[in-house]
Amino acid sequence: MAKSEQKTSSKAHRFFDSLSFAKRMESVGFTRQQAEALAEEQGNLIDERLATKDDVDKVSTEIERLRSETSTNIERLRSETKVDIELLRRDVTIRIGSMIVALGGILIAVKYFG
């Protein structure tokens, strides 16, 4: 069984006892060679598919970084939007004021010259 145990990584060894698995396969009729090959493949599958605590921690850290970055971007956009709204409000006020002055001038011109 040493051959298949050497081929599986330490990550698989933490989660999968390939020797016990191979012995169990032999006890139900698999040859030693078949049992070892199956144990090795099971270890490889576990290695490739099973997330460790470190894997989960890395993903959690990345999620938190992205959450923080997103919050920062939202706050920046919120501030920029407030500035843009204030500029638009000022521009609209100036334009409306200009129209009122122009209309007043037109009304005065019509009253006195019309």
Residue ranges covered by each domain of the chain: 1-50, 52-114
**pLDDT tens by residue, 59-76:** 999 999 999 999 999 999
Q: CA distances (Å), 8 to each of 19, 30, 61, in order?
A: 11, 20, 28
Q: Which of 38, 53, 56, 50 is nearest to 12 (CA)?
A: 50
pLDDT of residue 44: 86
Write out pLDDT tens, residues 75-114: 999 999 999 999 999 999 999 999 999 999 999 999 898 7
